[in-house]
A and B are shown apart, each in its own frame.
Chain A
Amino acid sequence: MFAADGSDPAAKPLVLPLGESALLVRFGSTLSQAANTAALRFARILELRPIAGVVEVVPNLVSVLLRYEPQRIGFHHLAGEIGLLLTAAVDDVGAEARNHIVKVAFGGEAGPDLPDVAERLGLSAGAFVAAHNASRLRVLATGFAPGFVYCGFHPERLHVPRRAEVRPRVAAGSVLFAAGQTAIAATDIPTGWHVIGHTQLRNFDALRDPPTLLQAGDTIEFEATT
């Protein structure tokens, strides 16, 4: 474990081996806006200043995965390069954050948990949908399943925990809500999140290039379809 001195006082990034040909640069052990922002920023820096021997860079919720070829760069050498980049002054990481409008049919058969979620928050269904759509969210990460995106964060007053039970299968396009976030399922998945609606957006198509439309750092506005 190698602590690198980050310039961001909120984050003390750790460089952690993940098997013999990957490592994680982790900016926090709990999910926070600061840790996510730091991870996305560092992934962008690695795109701008690629390290020889690194073959894949993937931002996650609070970390960046680097897959590397040990024959080309050793772990300690790579950790050193990462330490330099973590402290380097990079003024403009110039991430091209795009905004997406995602239309959602809230409630009904495809959003069975909406009444329950609204009730927990002491809101009518309509007031919950309005509150849900009020703030522009950011795509925090793609993960868990093909094209599955985590979007956050909602204000504290809209936070609910996950369901106690996991649904073995919800349909592609399901809009999910838990832990201050809204997630969008791009494929059929099992989930313990509340299913609050459904979108026609399919964020994964293996035959499309690129196969996903939303990427970490993009902003999302949800709109209710009538």
Chain B
Amino acid sequence: MTAKLLVSNTSPLTTVQDLGRSGMLRHGISASGPMDSQAFAAAAAALGGAGPAGIEFTTSGLDIEVVAGGCRFALAGGQFTASLNDVAIAWPDVGDLQQGDRLHIGPGPVGNYGYLRFDKGIHLPLVMGSQATNLRAGIGGFAGRALAAGDILGLIEPEQLDPGQQAVAAASAGPIRVLWGLHADAFPPEVHSRFLQKEFVITSRMDRMGVRLDDPEGVFRASSGLSLVSDAVVAGDIQILGDGTPIVLMRDHQPTGGYPRIATVIGSDLDRLAQMRPGTHVRFESVSLVHAHRLSTLRSASR
């Protein structure tokens, strides 16, 4: 063990995440992984390589005390406030932690999710090949649950480093880009056009499984509950409940679903959507599959 960290205070739904548990859908398990994958990667890049797992915290932040040892750390994601031993530090930032240090992360003006990563690995078992916490299934991370005050995390020399990737200047505004979804043809054409014209609002009913949207213009008001065969779901799918409520399915989504899905948020914009706070107005723009692939190639080009 090269360091021991005490979680002295934490925000709800703070979890250990790594790049995710992909390949397990046949067992009914979605991949999980960071809600803002670009920020997670940026934290690793800032360290010149990080242990595979890091901590994802939510809006009220996180307090860590170094009980033993030391490490380098990086902070990224959204815009939080932070201090080290009561001295304000920048956001994002990298630095060193030594025994006795107190790292405080407090609320900030932007985003729902922030990341704390280390140049070390977190000493937790691999569950189905990953350390990512899946809160829906209660597996991975710290005993399959969110971190709580009093938890102690051991840091170890990692077997391999995640090089991460520096943040590309992402569009911080503008519509969220989507591909038409699996059941788009089940919605009438006027719903398609209104879906792209009208604004939706992010609600506070959001977690790692999904983000509920408010539909003030009633785009989906008349949507009748279609009876569909349950079929595979991917992160970013926008499903419409029987009462017309749109939900964007996120990293801990269920593996299959029976609600109609009008569109799928492209990977490049799902991180941005995850960071939108309740009350944020959002519009959607449809793009072609070719365009979505071009954007994802740009994102992975410097990996």
* Cβ-defined contact, B296 with A18, below 8 A: no
Q: A206-B128, A210-B27, A211-B128 are in contact. Are A62 and B289 (CB under 8 A)?
A: no
* Chain B nearest CB, measured from A149 CB (Å): 9
Contact yes or no, A74 B293, CB < 8 A: yes
CB-CB nearest in chain B for A146: B28
Within 8 A of A (CB), among B132-166: 137-140, 144
Partner of B231, one of A55, A62, A71, A215: A62
- Asked if residues B139 and A18 are in contact (CB atoms below 8 Å), the reply is no
- On whether the beta carbons of B256 and A206 are closer than 8 Å, the reply is no
Q: Is A108 an interface residue (CB 8 A)?
A: no
Q: How distant is B189 from chain A, measured CB to nearest CB, in Å?
A: 16
**B-facing mask of A56-78, CB < 8 A → 1, else 0?**
10111111010100110011000
B295 nearest CB neighbor, chain A only: A20
Hey, what's the 0/1 contact readout for B253-277 against A, CB within 8 Å counting as 1?
Answer: 0111100000010110000000000
Query: Please, how many angstroms separate the alpha-carbon atoms of A225 and B144 in the complex?
Result: 33
- CA–CA, A59 and B256, complex, Å: 11
Judge whether A60 and B232 touch: CB under 8 Å.
Answer: yes
Asked if A147 lies at the interface with its beta carbon under 8 angstroms from chain B, I say yes
- Residue contact B27 to A204, C-beta cutoff 8 Å: yes
Q: B258: nearest residue on chain A (CB-CB)? A: A144
Q: Say yes or no: is A191 at the interface (Cβ < 8 Å to chain B).
A: no
Q: Are A22's CB and B232's CB within 8 A?
A: yes
Known: A144-B255, A206-B139, A211-B27. A20 touches B292 (CB 8 A): yes
**Nearest chain A CB to B202's CB is how many angstroms away?**
20
Contact A212 B23 (CB under 8 A): no
Q: Is the CB of A60 within 8 A of B230?
A: yes
**B30 and chain A: residue at smallest CB distance:** A146
Contacts of A159-215 to chain B: CB distance below 8 A: 186-187, 204, 206-207, 210-212, 215
Task: Tell me if B255 and A70 are in contact (CB < 8 A).
Answer: no
B56 at the interface (CB under 8 A from A): no
Q: How far is the CA of A211 from the CA of B140 in the complex (A)?
A: 13
Q: How far is the CA of A147 from the CA of B128 in the complex (A)?
A: 13
**B235, B236, B254: which contacts A144 (Cβ < 8 A)?**
B254
Cβ-based interface call for B182 (8 A): yes
Among residues 78 to 105 in chain A, which have CB atoms less than 8 Å away from a CB atom of chain B? none
- Asked if A19 lies at the interface with its beta carbon under 8 angstroms from chain B, I say yes
**Cβ-defined contact, B297 with A26, below 8 A:** no
Interface presence of A155 (CB below 8 A): no
Q: Which residue of A lies closest to B228 (CB)?
A: A29
Q: Chain B residues with Cβ under 8 A from A65's Cβ?
A: 25, 232
Q: Do A29 and B292 have beta carbons less than 8 Å apart?
A: no
Whether a CB of chain A sits under 8 angstroms from the CB of B171 is no
Any chain B CB within 8 A of the CB of A34? no
- Whether B22 is near chain A, meaning CB under 8 Å from some CB there, is yes
B267 touches A62 (CB 8 A): no
CB-based contact A26/B231 at 8 Å: yes
A145 located at the interface, meaning its Cβ lies under 8 Å from any Cβ of chain B in the complex? yes
Is the C-beta of B179 less than 8 angstroms from some C-beta in chain A? yes
Name which residue of chain A comes closest to B28, CB basis: A146
Q: Nearest Cβ distance between residue B30 and chain A, in whole angstroms? A: 10
Q: Which residues of the other chain, A, contact B289 by a CB distance below 8 angstroms?
A: 17, 20, 75
B237 at the interface (CB under 8 A from A): yes
B222 within 8 Å of A by Cβ? no
Inter-chain contacts of A134 with B (CB < 8 A): none
Chain B min CB distance to A21 (Å): 7
Q: Which residues of A contact B137 (CB under 8 A)?
A: 145-146, 187, 206
A31 within 8 A of B: yes
Tell me the smallest distance from the CB of A74 to a CB of chain B, in Å: 7
Contact between chains at B26 and A215 (CB < 8 Å): yes
Q: What residues make up the interface of A, taking CB atoms closer than 8 Å to B?
A: 16-22, 24, 26, 28-31, 55-56, 58-63, 65, 67, 70-71, 74-75, 141-148, 186-187, 204, 206-207, 210-212, 215-216
**13 new A-B pairs (CB below 8 Å) besides A28-B229, A63-B231?**
A19-B264, A20-B296, A22-B234, A56-B22, A60-B230, A60-B256, A61-B230, A63-B232, A70-B296, A143-B28, A143-B232, A144-B255, A211-B24
Please list 23 pairs of residues, one from A and one from B, whose beta carbons are closer than 8 Å in the complex, sorted by A's number.
A18-B181, A19-B237, A20-B264, A20-B296, A29-B229, A55-B23, A59-B26, A60-B231, A62-B229, A63-B231, A71-B297, A141-B256, A142-B27, A142-B28, A143-B232, A144-B28, A144-B254, A146-B29, A187-B137, A204-B27, A210-B27, A211-B29, A212-B28
Residues of B within 8 A of A (CB): 22-29, 127-128, 137-140, 144, 179, 181-182, 228-232, 234-237, 254-257, 264, 266-267, 289, 292-293, 296-297, 300
Give the 3 A-B residue pairs with the shortest CB-CB distance, closest first. A143-B256, A65-B232, A20-B292
